[in-house]
Structure 1
């Protein structure tokens, strides 16, 4: 999808404003060259002060992008989990992870990823994927907690790893979005940035 635009993207340069290894691997998967620059933005806003979880994720993604000063194209993202209107952040400890698992166990969790592409223009998108989970026994939950797979993951959900991948009955939406970067949406945003740049150059 990006191949016709790749030379222009490479000449502009791509900066990923994220320390997430999963997001880095997703960009490598589509063979998009990038440099890494963690924004340093303090994600300490209270999600309850926002209109909805999508706006909260978008607030974080916007501010991550704003922290990066460069002439290159900046990609930033933020992923939050939501169950029944409640945002699940990254668990602070095993007890917190167990609490979160109890909220989505046998039910539905929404994963929202906000993506911002900042270049000569700024493009924003929020992608939502619905995850339907199987009912997990106490024994399975105990094992998952001991595995520590959940560490550093929004809602204690890590779909690309051994245990959590077996908990999921069905996805409705983009799988890559759950991992932290909806590739189809991102590619469309990058293409739009190149088209906007072409238009600007033709006018000038």
Structure 2
């Protein structure tokens, strides 16, 4: 089995490396729009599966593709990646002092056509933040590549996140516990680090 990661996220790469799996990165542009009727976990799962479909034709029989998409939901509103600094400030202003949900959808697709799509949810609690704290974070950490305009592993996570219910790694962009389990199930193999 050769694992192919279709993601430009340095956090996903680090998590797979920490998991001890060897993998290759393949990238191509994929439209990240989704049907308006989808909500919460369904959005993340749809996007992960949609990304995988763009790679399907190029997969070899011994390859397993991993695609993922992380979204932040405040009530029923989906907060994707901010378009600019002011959009990031707007999102963080909405999130401060409240709890929200982070969903990561994952699609595993084999070159033989077997596919599994799943998601994981983590509830994240933020303490109230000042406008100065929010602007400092946006200016110094440039969270424009992050759903909800923040990374839990960044400065904002250290000062704002008061409690998590669920996987911390899911908030970083990959529910590695589920990925490990599903890879073993999908490939009918016992995975070990370095495999």
Q: Answer yes or no: same fold by TM over 0.5.
A: yes
TM-superposed CA distance for 1:163, in Å, is 3.2
Deviations 1:102-127 (A, max 9, x none): 21100011100001111142111110
Match of 2:27 in 1: 38
Q: How does 1:23-102 map to 2 (within 5 A)?
A: 23-45=12-34, 49-68=36-55, 69-71=58-60, 72-102=63-93
Unmatched tracts of structure 2, length 5 or more: 190-195
- Are 2:93 and 1:106 equivalent residues in the alignment? no
- Are 2:8 and 1:15 equivalent residues in the alignment? no
Q: Secondary structure at the match of 2:135?
A: helix
Larger RCO: 1 or 2 (CA < 8 Å, sep 6+): 2
Match of 2:193 in 1: none
- Are 2:178 and 1:185 equivalent residues in the alignment? yes
Q: Is the 8 A contact 1:39 1:65 kept in 2?
A: no
* 125-134 or 164-173, larger mean C-alpha shift: 164-173
Match of 2:125 in 1: 132
TM-score by length of 2: 0.89
Runs in 1 of length 4+ with deviation above 6 angstroms? none
TM-score by length of 1: 0.85
Instruction: Give me the CA root mean square deviation.
Output: 1.4
- Are 2:149 and 1:156 equivalent residues in the alignment? yes
Deviations 1:86-145 (A, max 9, x none): 000101111101110121100011100001111142111110000000111222122122
Distance 2:25 2:87 in 1: 30
